Amino acid sequence: METERIAMSQRERDRLRVLHEVKQKQLTQVEAARRLKVSDRHVRRMLIRVGERGDGGIVHQLRGRPSNRKLAARLEQKILARVRHRYADFGPTLAAEHLAKDGLPVSRETLRKWMIQESFWRPRRQRVKAVHVWRERRAGFGELVMQDSSPFRWLEDRGPACQLIALIDDATSRIWARLAEHDSTEENLRTLGGWLRRYGRPVAHYTDRNSIFRPTGPAALAEQLRGDPARTQFGRALNELGIEWIAAHSPQAKGRIERLFETLQDRLVKEMRLAEIDTIEAANQFLELRFIPEWERHFSVAPRHPRNAHRRLGPEHRLEEILSVRAARQVAQDHTVSWEGNRWGVPRDQVRAGLRGAHVEIERRLDGSHWLRFHGRYLRLQHCPEPPPRPASPSGLRPPGLAAKKNIQPKPKYIPPPQHPWRTFLYGRKPDISTLR
């Protein structure tokens, strides 16, 4: 007679060995329950099944049978057809969220298995990464805010290429973000202004060592005389706001915002695709009104300390003046200054005594206006149009003054004669008198 083979897991084999010890009076039911981490009542049930069916009684009765909680095959096909039609390149988590909005609720893991079977989703391989020391989140909201930008086809082929400039709080993962055409100083200042007006002044600001945040050259002469360190326009704004600037020394050091961009490149792109957004202006409105509030409900966490570390903006913190680009200039005699190839003049009604020839600061604000800072006062500048070019003379015609001198030959080059003093003078020696007679 052929011996019956029973397939068991390691857990079931461990349970069967303990039950045999109980049957042989080597172990009590209470001790067996403690070892198996079940109740003694369940130990008695397993003993009864083993006595009735043999060692196979320890095997779960639903093995090889479909689960009682398995979803209907018709619902599975309906969900997969929906995924194939609209969410083919979505991840399981994001697809499950949108299916729930469409009235087709399904768990993330179930959908993940279905998508792998249908080749909609490929499991990621676990890569061996370098070991980095884990850093605990800051305790309170506003203690540390990270800022960075990410170039990506955020609007895919529907709109222009753009940059996403984002800020994220280290303690709570609250975010603020804007799309811009370029990663410039003005756009980074404008994004920072959105955070400041929304929450206030954080304690510290964490960025990379990009030239927007970190100066690449020495400080200006005036700053060196005052003993101030070299700062960029962004660093100068942080200093005036009383915010500490911290520079990251590696991409891993700002891992939280790097992971944020990785998530947004998946979620935000698909959300804007479903909303049929094709312009930067519409994308920024979508971010502010829909995506960021939804993000905070799903992904923000409670800080360890309930205190909000943000500080209020005081009357001395005029953001339109602080969040600007400034340059030192000297006023010309006609009360104008030159900057980036353009001339800017002070209107006649705003001219002040001592302005001519003074060393001042010219300021370009985020709204495009230009101002001149002189003795703590701001004078509005107006653009001076370029002078009209001189009309070119018609071809074949000479200026009036040269018409009468048409036949005059150029003056020949003058060659001194041999007896010229310039040739006969001897420096440092007495001349020979006989040669001069």
For 17, 87, 272, 278, the CA distances from 269, given in Å and listed in that order, are: 55, 12, 5, 11
- What pLDDT does residue 176 have? 96
pLDDT tens string 293-311: 999 999 999 999 999 999 9
**Residue among 131, 52, 68, 123 at smallest CA distance from 91:** 123
As a whole number, mean pLDDT of residues 375-399 equals 74
Given this model, what pLDDT does residue 283 score? 96
SS3 string of the chain? CCCCCCCCCHHHHHHHHHHHHHHCCCCCHHHHHHHHCCCHHHHHHHHHHHHHHHHHHHCCCCCCCCCCCCCCHHHHHHHHHHHHHHCCCCCHHHHHHHHHHCCCCCCHHHHHHHHHHCCCCCCCCCCCCCCCCCCCCCCCECCEEEEEEEEECCCCCCCCCEEEEEEEECCCCCEEEEEECCCCHHHHHHHHHHHHHHHCECCEEEECCCCCCCCCCCCCHHHHHHCCCCCCHHHHHHHHHCCEEEECCCHHHHHHHHHHHHHHHHHHHHHHHHCCCCCHHHHHHHHHHHHHHHHHHHHCCCCCCCCECCECCCCCCCHHHHCEEEEEEECCCCCEEEECCEEEECCHHHCCCCCCCCEEEEEEECCCCEEEEECCEEEECEEECCCCCCCCCCCCCCCHHHHCCCCCCCCCCCCCCCCCHHHHCCCCCCCCHHHHC
* Placement of tokens 């070019």 in the chain: 389
Q: Greatest CA span in the chain, whole angstroms?
A: 153
pLDDT at 99: 92
Cα–Cα distance between 62 and 163 in angstroms, integer? 54
Strand order in the sheet with 336-339: 336-339, 342-345, 382-384
Average pLDDT, the chain: 86
User: Is the per-residue pLDDT at 169 higher than 80?
Assistant: yes
Per-residue pLDDT at 421: 78
Mean pLDDT, residues 201-214 taken together: 93
212 Cβ contact partners less than 8 Å away, ≥ 6 residues apart: 183, 184, 185, 188, 232, 234
Looking at residue 1, what is its pLDDT?
45
Confidence at residue 196, expressed as pLDDT on a 0 to 100 scale: 96
CA–CA dist 263, 255 (Å, integer): 12
Which of 152-161, 192-201, 382-391 shows the lowest per-residue confidence on average (mean pLDDT)? 382-391
Cβ pair 140, 307 in contact under 8 A: yes
Q: Is the pLDDT of residue 161 over 50?
A: yes
| Mean pLDDT lowest among 25-39, 97-111, 121-135 | 121-135
Query: β-strands 377-380, 370-374: how paired?
Result: antiparallel
| Phi/psi of residue 124, nearest 5 degrees | -80, 140
pLDDT at 160: 93
Residue percentage of the chain with pLDDT more than 70 = 89
Residue partners of 157: CB distance under 8 A and separation at least 6: none
- Residue 54 burial (CB < 10 Å; 0-12/13-18/19+)? exposed
Residue range 93-115, pLDDT digits in tens: 999 999 999 999 999 999 999 99
Give pLDDT, residue 392: 62
